[in-house]
């Protein structure tokens, strides 16, 4: 056993550029580990695992997880790393992983710290104490960094290189530049329209600046524009008046409440006949005023080709269709279209040809079976000839499930079905249609074609 070759894993980790300056760079660690293996007669490198820019306090490191997977698969005998803090800086995580290593009979070694020994109780105690100190050091380092940042913020100094639109850095401080006017206009435009979509388009059309909704929302909620950062209310010179900023926040919160998630019955089922894109739905809210002066809002769901809705590359199919119109069409026409499809299927020459060919082959297989049962041919001959015949069978369209669906559609036109249908929720109606419909093609002239599942 002493001469048995051990499969070793080299684990390398660097969390910051500062560590690289102290002799802990990736290249230096890899060189040290490979030199160690060369001096051993019973070691062979199975694989090198490198986590670059990952803290030792984090358990879920990509390469580390791959290493654990290989440990559990029995591919590794020993894990090598340069120092204990390259392995872990969190005592609880270390103990949990050590339990996994013990179960899989895997050992580890910090090659520049050979005094760490987990084979004795004293050695394990020493490792645990060292891990505790490493964790404490990491926490203290994090606290020191946080204290430096807090001090910079108190002095109004920039703590990162990310600069908001409308500002630039001068002498470590944020100062407004010529683009501050763009920021003012965006805040004012959103306040006037209340529309994030319109604001995004305005930014692109008038200033040639492409931003997504999330980026514009982050701009509108960035308190640096009123001069604040964390506890410092005078972090930088403001671009936006506080009153305007707070009114924008109020409008944003209203829009969040209004844009609650809606259930659309036919999402993903409608397909454009011209470009092949899906149709997507929007809520159209109209209001009419009663005689007593009160308003009555009415919400309808309108489906349109996604290309036209998103205003990207226009589609020639401008036909929109309301959910209620589509629903009524299905209830009135689904049985008729199912019957037409059923008749067409029976008349397809290719289907008939396939069926006739397969029927002939199946008869030959039956005769072959009788020949074997009558001891005219041997079992080996029967198996060989049967395999050859079965290979000639032409795959048939799976009509069994589809025919069940088509037959069940006759019930959709009954009064009993429609009475029950009215009691369903939108989600339940959506599920019902998806059990039988693959998609519905929408044509520019308003015609609709139902494609059933299985056909």
Q: What does the pLDDT look like over 344-377, one tens digit per residue?
A: 665 555 556 666 777 888 888 888 787 777 776 7
Is residue 325 classed exposed, middle or buried when 0-12, 13-18 and 19+ CB atoms within 10 A define those classes? middle
Residue 36: CB atoms within 10 A of its CB come to 18
Q: Please give the Cα distance from 158 to 348 (Å, whole number).
A: 74
Residue-wise pLDDT for 238-265, tens only, equals: 999 999 999 998 888 776 555 555 678 8
* Nearest to 300, CA basis, from 282, 318, 320, 288: 282
CA 327 to chain centre: 32
Assess whether pLDDT exceeds 70 at residue 227.
yes
What are the two backbone dihedrals, phi and then psi, of residue 317, each rounded to the nearest 5 degrees?
-85, 100
Closest CA to 265 of 333, 320, 326, 307: 326
Alpha-carbon span 341 to 202, nearest angstrom: 49
Tell me the pLDDT band of 195, cut-offs 50, 70 and 90: confident
Residue 179 clears pLDDT 90, i.e. is over it:
yes
Place of tokens 């519905």: 440
Stated as kind and residue range, the H or E segment containing 389 is helix 379-391
| CA 363 from centre of chain | 52
Q: Could you give the domains of the chain?
A: 6-141 (3.40.50.1390), 167-258 (3.90.1750.20), 267-359+395-455 (no CATH)
Residue 333 phi/psi, 5-degree rounding, is: -120, -10
Report the C-alpha gap between 352 and 240 in whole angstroms: 75
Stated pTM of the model? 0.35
b/e 218-235 (16+ beta carbons within 10 angstroms → b):
ebbebbbbbbbbeeeeeb
Which H or E run contains 141? helix 121-154
Looking at residues 422-428, what average pLDDT do you find? Answer: 83
Strand partners, 280: 304
Closest listed residue to residue 437, CA positions, set 307, 326, 274, 283: 326
DSSP H helical segments within 208-322, as ranges?
213-220, 242-258, 306-309
- In the DSSP assignment, the letter for residue 216 is H
pLDDT above 80: residue 69: yes
Interatomic CA distance for residues 390 and 358, integer angstroms:
9
Q: Tell me how far apart the alpha carbons of residues 63 and 10 are, in angstroms, rounded to a whole number.
A: 11
Q: Which residues have a Cβ under 8 Å from the Cβ of 180 and sit 6 or more positions away?
A: 166, 167, 239
pLDDT of res. 175: 93
Q: Is 15 a catalytic residue?
A: yes
């Amino acid at each position: 056993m002493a001469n048995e070759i051990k499969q070793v894993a080299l684990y390398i980790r660097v969390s910051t550029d500062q560590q690289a300056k102290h002799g802990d760079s990736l290249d230096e660690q890899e060189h040290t580990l490979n030199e160690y293996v060369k001096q051993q007669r019973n070691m062979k490198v199975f694989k090198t695992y490198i986590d670059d820019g990952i803290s030792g306090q984090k358990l879920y490191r990509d390469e580390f997880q791959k290493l654990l997977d290989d440990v559990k698969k029995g591919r590794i005998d020993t894990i090598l790393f340069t120092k204990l803090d390259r392995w872990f800086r969190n005592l609880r995580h270390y103990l949990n992983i050590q339990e996994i290593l013990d179960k899989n009979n895997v050992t580890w070694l910090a090659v520049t710290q050979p005094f760490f020994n987990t084979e004795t109780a004293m050695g394990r105690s020493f490792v645990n104490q060292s891990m505790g100190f490493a964790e404490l050091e990491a926490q203290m380092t994090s606290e020191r960094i946080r204290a430096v940042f807090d001090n910079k913020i108190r002095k109004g100094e920039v703590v990162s290189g990310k600069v908001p639109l409308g500002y630039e850095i001068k002498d470590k401080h944020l100062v407004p530049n010529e683009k501050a006017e763009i920021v003012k206009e965006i805040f004012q435009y959103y306040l006037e329209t209340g529309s994030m979509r319109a604001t995004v388009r305005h930014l692109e059309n008038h200033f040639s600046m492409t931003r997504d909704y999330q980026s514009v929302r982050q701009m509108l909620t960035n308190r640096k524009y009123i001069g604040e950062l964390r506890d410092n209310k005078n972090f930088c010179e403001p671009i936006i008046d506080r009153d305007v900023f707070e009114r924008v926040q109020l409008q944003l919160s209203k829009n969040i409440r209004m844009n609650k998630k809606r259930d659309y019955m036919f999402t993903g089922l409608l397909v454009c006949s011209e470009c092949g894109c899906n149709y997507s739905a929007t809520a159209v809210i109209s209001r009419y005023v009663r005689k007593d002066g009160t308003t009555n809002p009415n919400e309808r769901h309108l489906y349109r080709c996604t290309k036209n809705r998103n205003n990207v590359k226009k589609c020639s199919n401008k036909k929109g269709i309301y959910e209620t119109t589509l629903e009524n069409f299905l209830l009135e026409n689904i049985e008729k279209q199912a019957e037409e499809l059923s008749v067409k299927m029976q008349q397809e020459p290719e289907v008939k040809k396939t069926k006739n060919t397969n029927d002939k082959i199946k008869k030959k297989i039956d005769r072959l079976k009788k020949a074997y049962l009558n001891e005219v041919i041997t079992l080996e001959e029967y198996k060989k000839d049967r395999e050859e015949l079965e290979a000639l069978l032409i795959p048939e369209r799976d009509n069994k499930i589809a025919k069940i669906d088509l037959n069940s559609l006759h019930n959709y036109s009954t009064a009993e079905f429609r009475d029950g249908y009215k009691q369903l929720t939108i989600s339940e109606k959506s599920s019902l249609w998806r059990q039988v419909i693959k998609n519905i093609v929408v044509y520019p002239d308003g015609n609709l074609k139902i494609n059933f599942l299985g056909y």
